[in-house]
Amino acid sequence: MVFGFGKSKTDNKAGSAAAAKPAASPAPADIPQGQMMGLMQDWPLTVNRVLEHAAIAHPHREVVTRSVEGPIIRQTYKDIYDRARQCSTALKEDGVQMGDRVATLAWNTGRHMEAWYGTMCIGSVLHTLNPRLHPEQIAWIMNHAGDSVLFFDLTFLPIVQAIHQHVPGCRRYILFTDDAHMPKDHGIPNLVSYETYIAGKSMDVKWGDFDENTACGLCYTSGTTGDPKGVLYSHRSNVLHTMIGMQPDAIGGGVKDTMLPVVPMFHANAWGITFSAPASGMKLVMPGAKMDGESIYELLDGEKVTTTAAVPTVWLMLLQYLEQTGKKLPHLQKVVIGGSAVPERILRAFEETYDVEVVHAWGMTEMSPMGSLGSMTPEVMALSRDEVVRHKLKQGRVPFGVEMCVKDDDGNIVPRDAKTSGHLMVRGPAVAKAYFRKAGGEILDQDGWFDTGDVANLCPQGFMQITDRAKDVIKSGGEWISSIDIENIAVGHPKVANAAAIGLPHPKWDERPLLIVQMKEGETATKEEMLQFLEGKIAKWWTPDDVAFVDEIPLGATGKINKLKLRETFKDHVLPTVQAAE
């Protein structure tokens, strides 16, 4: 190397088209004149990197699963990596190609993780199905997605038996178990046990080596109107979301941590933990099918879990169990709670009785799903305990990688004054720009913002607080109930003129549906009659907790039901199920 003041050989438009030899790589011809390109490696952000890293950097770190069959299974990231590769080979030999949709109907387990990476890393799309939906909806979603393979857990055999004839495109079924646990006379064609499917398969299979914008995962979210909508994640969005999640003020974690994601992989990718845990080297504890207080406690205590994540309902069950048994949480340091607003009593119980930090999280499927998290700033920590609690009950601040603003009805950004509420808008590399196979797909405004359907305000310190919901859905126990589906069925009753479903507060489930009915002139009906009419047409847990009869359902200017007015009218209505839950 020659030092001097003269123009060096590489001191020009180094990586651009004008680069002197040897250039790192030829630059595209359409680079504007004068633009200088960096000379760093091209390293496509594909999710195989995550598990490849874990297999090399954290090969012995454990992945512990409470298996659906019962026993606790202990694996390592290297085991998961090896078996995921075998799964890839099995899928390829079975004819699965890049872009094919491979579905799962499964709990959080090591096997689910193997199939997850086994599918994604060969460029096929892993489609997580939500088993809490009505079987008819699951079949609809599978057909819409064009799933050709389904992995599922023993628990969900009845669902698959009910739907397989209605999903003609699905040509292969794989049960996450071994031959010893295979059911007899199941009636499902092309069904094989997972262990047999991957047994003896080669680990020598090509992963990655495709464009980072290749589709990677698919997850449907219940629509505000009409049919469920598919969010199609890319490899790049998943890798960047992993990095978002690894920030210490987000979920964080490292090799000293043990993570228990109770939040399911089938609901918004377990908040990205199936990626961020192997990336950061956290030991992973997978709860399988059991989410009751005692089962979760057993894992928290037995595996010395330091960080965990779930919707508030799960934590209510755990806290109840702790109160009944007098047990404590000596290992647990941080609990991430989201999907619904955190009730104050849960927050105070964890922090004040059990000395566990609560991080309140907000997000949505369309955001991969992390949006904001409530880790406290030094300024807030200097305030009184009640002020700290007030801030913790807000929905948190954005990590790097998420942009957020609040807009008024005219599309103007409102001030961050902790008072002015409006439409909560987000932007970022892990936020959806369109839905899968949905015509008229533009879902962003002219500045590229996605409207979350939540109504919120922001404070000068960046804490976001949800104050209402513009979208027409009910969230019960962290899962959606489509008010529109219930209404559509209810108006099918011959005596009903109009019907509306709204969510009312509930101490255990956060919200439960109330069905409001306007009868046709001269007709009457009972609550029981209405509920009976819904039976079998919706998932059982969607059944409204109460039915109210009104003379007239209020309509807005465009003829749509005025839900705001209904929510106001029924704000003091106490559901009959509330008392029993308190």
Q: Which is nearer to ligand ADP, 110 or 338 (CB)?
A: 338
Choose between 88 and 476: whose C-beta lies nearer to ligand ADP.
476
Of 76 and 307, CB closest to ligand ADP: 307
From residue 19, alpha-carbon distances to 1, 32, 35, 67 in Å are 18, 14, 11, 57
Residue closer to ligand ADP, measured from CB, 205 or 232: 232
By C-beta, is 102 or 273 nearer to ligand ADP? 273
Give the shortest CB-384-to-ligand ADP separation in angstroms.
Answer: 23
DSSP annotation of 9:
T
From 46, 221, 306, 365, active-site residue: 221
Q: Rounded to whole angstroms, how far apart are CA atoms 216 and 232?
A: 7
Q: In the annotation, is 475 catalytic?
A: yes
Distance (Å) of CA 1 to CA 10, 14, 39: 11, 16, 18
Q: In this structure, are residues 490 and 548 in contact, taking their beta carbons and an 8 Å threshold?
A: no
CB-nearer residue toward ligand ADP: 475 or 493: 475
- Taking the C-alpha atoms of residue 103 and residue 153, their distance in angstroms, rounded to an integer, is 12
**Among residues 229, 334, 475, 563, which one is catalytic?**
475
Least distance to ligand ADP, CB of residue 39, Å: 40
Q: Are the CB atoms for 334 and 356 separated by under 8 Å? A: yes
CA distance 34 to 566: 60
Active-site residue, from 140, 480, 509, 542 = 480
Minimum separation from the CB atom of position 511 to ligand ADP (A): 10
How many residues in the chain? Answer: 582
Please report the DSSP string for 351-386 in residue order. IIIS--EEEEEEE-GGGSSEEEE-PPPHHHHTS-HH
Whichever of 268 and 458 has its CB closer to ligand ADP, that residue is 268
Q: Which is nearer to ligand ADP, 86 or 395 (CB)?
A: 395
**Token pair listed for 151:** 């992995």
Q: Compute the distance between CA of residue 127 and CA of residue 231 in angstroms, rounded to an integer.
A: 10
Residue 367 C-beta: closest distance to ligand ADP, Å: 8
Tell me which residue of 395, 394, 362, 391 sits closest to 379, measured CA to CA: 391
Query: Can you list the alpha helix ranges (DSSP code H) found in 129-193?
Result: 135-145, 157-163
Check if 366 is active-site: yes
- Would you tell me which residues interact with ligand ADP (CB under 6 A)? 221, 267-268, 338-341, 360-365, 369, 395, 452-454, 466, 469, 475, 478, 480
In whole angstroms, how close is the CB of 2 to ligand ADP at the nearest point? 58
Q: Do residues 150 and 127 lie in contact, with contact meaning Cβ atoms separated by under 8 Å?
A: no
First to last CA, the chain: 76
Supply the minimum distance, in Å, between the C-beta of residue 340 and ligand ADP. Answer: 5
Q: Report the nearest approach of ligand ADP to the CB of residue 152 (Å).
A: 21
Residue 24 tokens, joined: 């790192």
CB 330 within 8 A of CB 300: no
By CB neighbour count within 10 A (0-12 exposed, 13-18 middle, 19+ buried), where does 522 fall? exposed
* 224 belongs to the catalytic site: no
Residues facing residue 126 across a β-bridge: 102, 217
Please give the sequence-ordered ranges of beta strands (E in DSSP) within 267-326, or none if there are none. 283-286, 307-310
Tell me whether residue 480 is one of the annotated catalytic residues.
yes
Provide, for the chain, the percentages of residues in helix, strand and coil under a 3-state DSSP scheme, each rounded to the nearest 5.
30, 25, 45
Residue 275: φ, ψ to 5° = -100, -50
CB of 396 to ligand ADP, least distance (A): 8
Helices (DSSP H) in 28-156: which residue ranges? Answer: 48-57, 77-93, 110-120, 135-145
We find the least distance from the C-beta atom of residue 346 to ligand ADP, in angstroms, to be 12
Q: Is 5 helix (H, G, I), strand (E, B) or coil?
A: coil
Catalytic one of 52, 114, 366, 479: 366
Q: How far is the CB of 201 from ligand ADP (least distance, A)?
A: 34
Contacts of 276 (CB under 8 A, 6+ apart): 242, 245, 246, 251, 253, 282
Q: Are the C-beta atoms of residues 406 and 413 closer than 8 Å to each other?
A: yes
Q: Which two three-digit tokens encode residue 181?
A: 């646990």
In angstroms, give the least distance from the CB of 478 to ligand ADP: 6
Q: Which is nearer to ligand ADP, 50 or 309 (CB)?
A: 309
Beta carbon nearer to ligand ADP, 361 or 561: 361
**Which residues have a catalytic role annotated?**
221, 366, 475, 480
